[in-house]
Amino acid sequence: MRLSAAPRIVIDHLPKAGLNISLGRTARAYHLKGLAFAEECLATARHAAPWDL
């Protein structure tokens, strides 16, 4: 799936995330937000007509 088919774009800031965001104190929130975004994209793609993608 192309990112251009994403239902929305969100820029988020995680305070005190540190240099390696996927390993720090905010890692859980970071990964859960990424998974939620991917799930939203899949749900949107399932309900969209083929010509809408």
Backbone phi, then psi, for 13, in 5-degree steps? Answer: -120, 125
Dihedral Cα 8, 14, 19, 20, nearest 10 deg: -60
Q: What is the pTM of this model?
A: 0.59
**Confidence (pLDDT) at 16:** 73
**Confidence (pLDDT) at 35:** 92
Q: What is the pLDDT of residues 10-49, one digit of tens each?
A: 777 777 777 777 777 888 888 898 899 888 878 877 776 5
